[in-house]
Structure 1
Amino acid sequence: MKPLIPYLTCATLARTADEGVGIAVVLLAQQRTHSAGIAAAVLAAWMAPHVVAAPAAGALAARVRRPAVFYRGALAGFAVAVGALTLCVGQAPLGVVLGVAVAGGACGPAVTGGLSSVLAELTGEDERARAYGLDAATYNVAGLGGPALVTLVAALAGAGVAGTVLAAAAGAAAVCFPRGVRAIPGERAPKSSGLRALWRIRPLRAVTAGTTLAFVGVGGLTLTAVQLEESRGYPGAGGVLLTVFAGGALAGALAVARRPPRAAPPRIAAYSLLGTGAALAGAAVVEPFAGCAALFAVAGFFDGPLLTATLRIRADHAPAGVRTQVFTLGAGFKITAAATGAALTGVVAGSGPATVLLGIAALQGAAAEVVRRA
């Protein structure tokens, strides 16, 4: 357990900063420029490299002789970019701001999938299930804590201070990165090898295809949750639904970490997707707010084991030479799918939030079938 403490500290700090950046940028843009267009442009510049840079980042992390130096450097660069972005938004020419955002976003794959890939080097086979359950929990803690931290600090001291706090958290993550992570002999694969492994190795292909499809639906959940409550007479309550979903996911991840299921990870992934889909379908048809919120919490609870199983499958089946690439590519595909889903949700929003939520639920069921059959 001792080697995991610095890793979990590092991952929680880094991912909290990553989750909070989007809200900080929006608040800064509103405060300094009063322009939603500038906020959207900066956010797009920050997110795009998460997808585009994933293969290169994974390949580079796999090829360096001293991985700890690489990850500390990536996290330090991430921290500097967040700090610079905090200073630049609304103060510097837009081209400079976008350049800083692109540079910071290029460090994103190291913060998400890249960090998760090093757990396999810090743990043995017998403790891997618990380790990835705890790693999944860091994503959920960050998903809850990052936005909440920014909102609270911005309300008390301003958006600029909130951005500075996020930069400090990312810097602290660089300091906390665990020692003992070493290069694996033979880990010199070309950039394309991670894609080849994702396609040729059945468990990797199945979980990547399934979770990518699922995230097309998950990407539209934010807008749909807000619209669902507005349609039922609870304007602004969409934030509550998303919060209980994230809280349920944290509870699910911690439950798996405490008592790992005996079932194989692919089966856990499939059942988790089915559970999430069934709960969201129920939330689409249940009228009382309390019942709807409870079902969102149940849906989130199943999402916790899904992430744990996904991380475990990547760690167990990715060849050592391309493990980091597999993690970063998998995260990149999910981000791309979520962005696509958000755009599609805007197109079909006119059909009503309950109908859209049923569609999101159906995608989770289809994803479960993909995991089972791919």
Structure 2
Amino acid sequence: MTRPLPAYLATASFARFADEGVALALALLALERTGSPTQGALALTAWMAPHALAAPFVGALAERARSPRAFHVLAFSVFAVSLAALTAVLGRAPLAASLGCAVLGGACGPVVTGGLSSLLARLVPDARTRTRAYALDAATYNAASVLAPAAVSVTAGALSATPATALLAGAATAAAVLALRIPVPPANGDTASEPTAERRPALPEEPEAEAAQPADSPASRTSPPAATVAAGLAALWRVPELRAITAATVVSFLGIGGLAVTAVLLAAASGHPGAEGAPVTAFAVGGLLGALGTARLGRRPHAQHLAACALFGTGAALAVAALVPWFPAAVAAFAAAGLCDGPLMAATLRLRADHAPASARTQVFTLGAGLKVSAAAAGAALAGTLPFGPVPHLLAIAALQLAAALLLPLLCPHPRDPAPEAPSAVSP
């Protein structure tokens, strides 16, 4: 039998590699074919919009799917076809065709992020190893953010932007094939991570008898999609741990979304116009190392405490990057910020898995991811339009990380441990 965690991580790595390379690939493809990146920017906007808008509906479909594995294989296949179609039509066919392909592919984005991560609660039911599993899952995001833009850039430089974009379609296809090997256990064993009534108050919108239903039980599949979405929203609001980490990550990503734009401004203002990518790359590499380091921590510290420390460290390091006068030192501070930021994703995923009701787990993951993407998009827009220099921008981003760190204990002053795990035959 295929071991669940390696099969999952291979799938997630290819899927997120494809997703992380889209922004650069579309810009290069449009520039190569039209002489302007405008069509690429419009296609990227169409690609990103469904990440937030479609998240509740995609989550509802995932909750109601009889076979979660088949649902993910289908989503990754559509993701791959959309990228292949964009490779063919962007800059060659009417813009509406490109935008339609982008919207279709972007609608699968929530599956690549939160939807895929929601499967880990089933694949790794043992709380003693789940922190490591989610840290490794977080590392797939960080690794993709480092490797995908580099691979797209090198391929476009050596060949052209067309094979660079096709490379991403191939990665998404590989994810669809690899997803066939993920041994998702039956839903009737998926109550292990559900907190008991003593640990989590019952949601008014979700009676206790229904809260124990697995995500793809008959009751869940026959409930209206609106009720499924409502259950996810109710969980995010009613469960203190989920409310706290969702609010904190939204505030954090409002700042992180503008980090790339700010890094470009910082490099130009420091007299290094050819090194715009250095701070962002340093942040991504630091994030990868931080996520891998988190995988060695085991079950402690508590995920919420880890998230608060990560946010505080990220904010402090970015403040240093804003204030140091030497550009290489600023790049080093970006790396330190990434090193602190790395554990945040692992802690976020762990909190969702530990405290989301089993019947709304996928909704909690996809909604949380959609809200973060929306906040990041708003942050990027603000960074690109506000008439300030890089230092005020970077200090504002740092302040948002510190504010997010303070939100966690304010919204959930006494985070609870998850309920004891039920024994399971599935092992990573």
Instruction: Name the stretch that deviates more: 30-39 or 93-102.
Output: 30-39
* Partner in structure 2 of residue 225 of structure 1: 263
Distance, in Å, in 2 between the alignment partners of 1:37 and 1:157 is 22
Match of 1:170 among 169, 172, 175: 172
Please give the per-residue CA displacement for 1:273-294, whole angstroms capped at 9, x wherever unaligned: 0000000001111111222111
Which position in structure 1 is the counterpart of 2:356? 318
- Between Structure 1 and Structure 2, whose CA radius of gyration is higher? 2
2:238 paired residue among 195, 200, 225: 200
Task: Identify the match of residue 385 of structure 2 among 347, 365, 369.
Answer: 347
Give me the whole-angstrom Cα distance separating, in 2, the residues matched to 1:356 and 1:4.
Answer: 40
Question: Shift of the alpha carbon at 1:49?
Answer: 0.7
Structure 1 position 260, deviation (Å):
3.0
**1:113-192 map, 5 Å:** 113-123=114-124, 124-177=126-179, 178-182=181-185, 184-185=187-188, 186=213, 187=215, 188=220, 190-192=228-230
Partners of 2:132 and 2:295 within 8 A in 1: yes
Residue 65 of structure 2: aligned partner: 64
| Matched position secondary structure for 1:23 | helix
Residues 8, 182 of structure 2: 8 Å contact kept: no
Aligned to 1:43: 44
Q: In the aligned structure 2, how far is the partner of 1:329 from the partner of 1:43?
A: 21
- Whether contact under 8 Å (1:51, 1:335) holds in the other structure is yes
CA contact (8 A) 1:184 1:321 kept: no
Distance 1:264 1:150 in 2: 38
| Partner residue, 2:210 | none
Q: TM-score normalised to the size of structure 1? A: 0.97
| Cα distance, 1:342 vs structure 2 | 1.0
Distance 2:273 2:159 in 1: 27
Further displaced range: 224-233 or 103-112: 224-233
Give the number of aligned pairs: 373
Quote the RMSD (CA, aligned, Å): 1.3
Return the letter of the residue paired with 1:360: I
Give the secondary-structure state (helix, strand or coil) at the position aligned to 2:345. helix
Which residue number in structure 2 is paired with residue 106 of structure 1?
107
- Quote the offset at 1:217 in angstroms: 0.5
User: Cα gap change, 1:153/1:258 in structure 2, threshold over 3 Å: closer, same or farther?
Assistant: same
Q: CA separation in 1, counterparts of 2:33 and 2:299?
A: 50
Q: Render the CA deviation track for 1:23-71: whole Å, top value 9, x for unaligned.
A: 1111111111123321221111111111111001111101111111000
Q: What SS does structure 2 have at the residue aligned with 1:99?
A: helix
Partner-residue secondary structure (3-state), 1:351: coil
Check whether the contact 1:226–1:236 (CA below 8 A) recurs between aligned residues: no
The structure in which a higher percent of residues are helix is 1
Q: Name which of 264, 270, 275 aligns with 1:237.
A: 275
CA contact 2:26–2:41 (8 Å) conserved in 1? no
Match of 1:247 in 2: 285
2:372 alignment partner AA:
K
State the distance in 1 between where 2:162 and 2:186 align: 38
CA shift for structure 1 position 91: 1.5
Sequence identity percentage: 53
- Is 1:12 aligned to 2:23, yes or no? no
- Change in 2 beyond 3 A, CA 1:60/1:136: same
Partner of 1:359: 396
CA contact (8 A) 1:194 1:325 kept: yes
| CA shift for structure 1 position 183 | 5.6
Letter in 2 for 1:131: A
**Superimposed CA distance per residue, residues 130-179 of structure 1 (whole angstroms, 9 cap, x where no aligned partner):** 00000000000100111111111111121111111111111111111143
> After alignment, is 132-141 or 120-129 more displaced?
120-129
Offset, 1:346: 2.2
Write the letter of the residue equivalent to 2:398: A
**In the TM superposition, what whole-angstrom CA distance separates every residue of 1:238-281 from its partner, at most 9, and x where no partner exists?**
21011010000000000011233621111111111000000000
SS in 1 for 2:187: coil
Any stretches of 5+ residues in structure 2 without a counterpart?
Answer: 189-212, 221-226, 412-428
Give the partner amino acid of 2:302: A
Aligned residues of 2:228 and 2:363 also touching (Cα < 8 A): no
Paired amino acid for 2:401: Q
Question: Deviating runs (4+, > 6 A) in structure 1?
Answer: none
The residue type paired with residue 366 of structure 1 is A
Gaps spanning 5+ residues in structure 1: where? none
Residue of 213, 221, 226 corresponding to 2:251? 213
The alignment status of 1:23 with 2:24, answered yes or no, reads: yes
In structure 2, distance between residues paired with 1:236 and 1:205: 42
1:178-221 alpha-carbon deviations (Å, 9 max, x no partner): 43215635321622111110000000000000000011100111
Superposed CA deviations along residues 344-367 of structure 1, whole A, max 9, x for unmatched, are 11232x321111111110000000
Amino acid paired to 1:359: A
Q: Which amino acid aligns with 1:207?
A: I
The answer to whether the Cα contact below 8 Å between 1:64 and 1:183 also exists between their aligned partners in 2 is: no
- Answer yes or no: is the 8 Å Cα contact 2:132–2:294 preserved in 1: yes
